[in-house]
Chain A
Amino acid sequence: MKKISIYQIAAKNLLRKRSRSALTIIGIGLSAWVLASLLGFNQGYDSALKKDIDNMGFQVLLTAKGCPYEAATLMLKGGTGLRYMNESVIADILSQREVESVTPMLMQAVFDPDRGESGAIDAYLGVDPATFPQMKSFLKFKQGGWFKDPEAHVAVLGYEAAELEQREVGNKLLIPGKNIELAVVGILERSGTQDDGTIFVPIRMLQKEFGQQGKLTAVGIKVNRNANTAALENRLYDLPDVQVVSMAQVKNTIMSLVATAKVMVLSIAVIAILISMLGVINTILMSVLERYQEIGIMKSMGAMPADVFRMIWTETVILCIMGGALGLALAFSLAKVTDLLIRRLLPYTPTGSLILIDGGLMLTTFAVVLGIGLVSGVYPAWRAARVRPLESIRSEGD
């Protein structure tokens, strides 16, 4: 026959008031969920933003002068600015030694009254078939391929744009209000970037049809490897009527905007953790007070104060381990829901997954929850360890 250990006694004691233990575990679990989701958001947002920026294919963007924040947001949402600059700027850019290649872009937007209940804006991005596909070499086609003729009436649809327009290769696409028909020659696979929602058309055709010959809304600049991007940016600032937006700047700007939201979420997580700590202390303290006599009898049987302390502390740790496991399971299984909620709350979110939960994050969350358990358990365990056997049996008295 086996003996029983202090740890087994502790574990079995949690079954005494099952609903109380379950509620405490749920409380810890919810805190762990908030914490894991917050930490996951911290690294997920950074990683998704970095991916978005890397997938732009260029490190510096030149736009016509205007609000840099508007330009950055438009660019990340698939736009390239609303003002225009002359094509002659390309020669000036190419003369810089740090520049590897450039690609001109023209964004045009038209109102489509037939879309949705009250109409919507359709945006067309005119790109140069000679340079743009090289910069965006990571884009893969589901059907067809890039157009070759910069003046052809054709279009390549991003994955989501094709889904929205219900088009396949060979179908026609009408630019609303312009009576211009484009033949769909390619549909991209899902890339997880803003390109998924973009309609790409040849730039010369777009300039001609919209009366914007010689005009551009943006120029993407790919910089030589190991080149001094900052020095290039400084020289580009000297060009007339343009503004320079480096991807590093965009990232920093967005990260500083999101930092406020992160601080708020962190505050909520800290409050949730404090509440769950109080819940744990309350549960264990109640349990100790209910078992005052039982603990006294254990001490009369030979339990040292350290034994009792260990037993009660173990109960706390078990609750926290189970709560931590529950919280991580929730964080994993509800990551997509959390992702959707955050997207509704933030003004700009990158296209990739916003919640990134990996092994390191799981360990960190678990360590924090376990730390909470260890700290929360100290007071109840200390109270229990101080129980004197006589106090528990005095009621027996004469």
Chain B
Amino acid sequence: MAEKTFALEAENLRKVYRRGREEIVAVDDISLRVTKGEFISFIGPSGSGKSTLINLIGCLDNATSGSMRVGGEEVLCGGRGLSESALTRIRRRVFGYIFQRFYLVPTLTLYENIVMPFAFFQKPGVDADPMAIIRFLDLEKRLKHRPAELSGGEMQRVAIARALVNKPEILLADEPTGNLDSHLGQEIGGILKTLNEKEGVTVLLVTHNPVMAALAQRTITLRDGRIV
């Protein structure tokens, strides 16, 4: 049997915040292996640690302790993390991010928003022409529009296109449908599913929505910072 290739391996991840003398354990001893091309959803009540976990996984924050390998590279070992610059290098090579809010730049057109990551970094071997992604997300007719002229669903599709232009190995989606109605939410869910199945993108989805969570191959439930 062929050995599985992991997109991400985390061991005993723990994240503790201090508020005065009080310690708040947001992520408590979580170990996780994500296979390349897998679609995982994280569910749980508010404050269960879903977003904190995905921020640690996405190298947006350093864990208090534990170890983690991303894309074959060790980013955390025994709680000793990399510098912000080193984390940025990993982020731009491995991850694409989608958030609940779209964070589009209002002065740029839809097209300019989508290609903005290229202003900072273009992954070697990645085609600078984003038209295939734009067509896939059905945005080609609105390329010259500004974000204020788009609907919520269109803005989230632009955010997805922006996350995909550098061909990330892992797409992190933190409540991507939180600001959308159920119909648009299903549309975005369908896009994530297609990206995973047709393009082989590893998708890690944080959601409150059981319908969205059901799109994933594996669902992980968190409570009080632990996997249950």
With A305-B85, A389-B60, A396-B174 as contacts: A1 and B162 at CB distance below 8 Å: no
User: Is the Cβ of B88 less than 8 Å from the Cβ of A303?
Assistant: yes
B200 beta carbon closer than 8 Å to chain A: no
B116 beta carbon closer than 8 Å to chain A: yes
B92: chain A residues within 8 A (beta carbon): 301-302
Q: Which of A6, A15, A388, A393 contacts B84, CB < 8 Å? A: A388
- Chain B nearest Cβ from A339, distance in angstroms: 42
With A15-B107, A396-B99 as contacts: A301 and B120 at CB distance below 8 Å: yes
User: Is the Cβ of B60 less than 8 Å from the Cβ of A300?
Assistant: yes
**CB-CB nearest in chain A for B56:** A390
Q: Which of A363-398 contact B (CB under 8 A)?
A: 388-390, 392-393, 396-398
User: Is the Cβ of B51 less than 8 Å from the Cβ of A398?
Assistant: yes
A389 to B60, CA, bound (A): 6
Main secondary structure of the interface of A (DSSP, over half): helix
User: Which of B4-12, B31-39, B70-78, B123-131 is the contact stretch?
Assistant: B123-131
A388: chain B residues within 8 A (beta carbon): 84
A312 to B70, CA, bound (A): 31
Q: Which of A13, A16, A303, A389 contacts B120, CB < 8 Å? A: A303
User: Is the Cβ of A397 less than 8 Å from the Cβ of B107?
Assistant: no
User: Which of A69-77, A157-165, A182-190, A291-299 is the contact stretch?
Assistant: A291-299
A45 to B163, CA, bound (A): 62
User: Is the Cβ of B130 less than 8 Å from the Cβ of A398?
Assistant: no
- Chain A nearest Cβ from B160, distance in angstroms: 13
User: Is the Cβ of A304 less than 8 Å from the Cβ of B106?
Assistant: no
User: Is the Cβ of B174 less than 8 Å from the Cβ of A393?
Assistant: yes
- Chain B nearest Cβ from A7, distance in angstroms: 9
A174 beta carbon closer than 8 Å to chain B: no
User: Is the Cβ of A4 less than 8 Å from the Cβ of B115?
Assistant: yes
A6: chain B residues within 8 A (beta carbon): 119-120
A344 beta carbon closer than 8 Å to chain B: no
Q: Which of B101-132 contact A (CB under 8 A)?
A: 101, 103, 105-108, 111-112, 115-121, 128-131
A373 to B49, CA, bound (A): 44
**CB-CB nearest in chain A for B49:** A398
A302: chain B residues within 8 A (beta carbon): 88, 91-92, 117, 120-121, 166
**CB-CB nearest in chain A for B53:** A398
Q: Which of A297-333 contact B (CB under 8 A)?
A: 297-305, 307
User: Is the Cβ of A13 less than 8 Å from the Cβ of B107?
Assistant: yes
Q: Which of A5, A15, A298, A393 contacts B55, CB < 8 Å? A: A393
Beta-carbon contacts of A6-50 to B below 8 Å, as 1s and 0s?
101100110110000000000000000000000000000000000
Q: Which of B51-89 contact A (CB under 8 A)?
A: 51-52, 55, 58, 60-61, 84-85, 88
User: Is the Cβ of B131 less than 8 Å from the Cβ of A301?
Assistant: no
A178: chain B residues within 8 A (beta carbon): none
A13 to B106, CA, bound (A): 9
- Chain A nearest Cβ from B149, distance in angstroms: 16
A293 to B85, CA, bound (A): 18
Q: Which of B48, B100, B115, B117 contacts A396, CB < 8 Å? A: B100
A392 to B52, CA, bound (A): 13
Number of interface residues of A (CB under 8 A): 31
User: Is the Cβ of A294 less than 8 Å from the Cβ of B103?
Assistant: yes
A392 to B103, CA, bound (A): 10
A392 to B60, CA, bound (A): 10
User: Is the Cβ of A393 less than 8 Å from the Cβ of B112?
Assistant: no
A3 beta carbon closer than 8 Å to chain B: yes
A305 to B88, CA, bound (A): 9
- Chain B nearest Cβ from A384, distance in angstroms: 14
Of B55, B84, B103, B162, chain A has the most CB atoms within 10 Å of the CB of B103
B130: chain A residues within 8 A (beta carbon): 1
- Chain A nearest Cβ from B31, distance in angstroms: 20
B117: chain A residues within 8 A (beta carbon): 301-302
A13: chain B residues within 8 A (beta carbon): 105, 107
B157 beta carbon closer than 8 Å to chain A: no
**CB-CB nearest in chain B for A389:** B60
With A3-B128, A390-B61, A396-B51 as contacts: A301 and B107 at CB distance below 8 Å: no
User: Is the Cβ of B118 less than 8 Å from the Cβ of A3?
Assistant: yes
With A300-B60, A302-B92, A398-B52 as contacts: A3 and B108 at CB distance below 8 Å: no
A3: chain B residues within 8 A (beta carbon): 115, 118-119, 128
- Chain A nearest Cβ from B200, distance in angstroms: 21
Extra pairs beyond A9-B112, A303-B120, A398-B52 (11, CB < 8 Å): A1-B115, A3-B119, A3-B128, A6-B120, A12-B112, A297-B97, A300-B91, A301-B92, A393-B99, A396-B99, A398-B47
A–B complex contacts, Cβ < 8 Å, 16 sampled: A1-B111, A1-B131, A4-B116, A9-B105, A12-B112, A16-B106, A300-B58, A300-B91, A301-B92, A301-B121, A302-B91, A302-B166, A388-B84, A396-B175, A397-B51, A398-B49
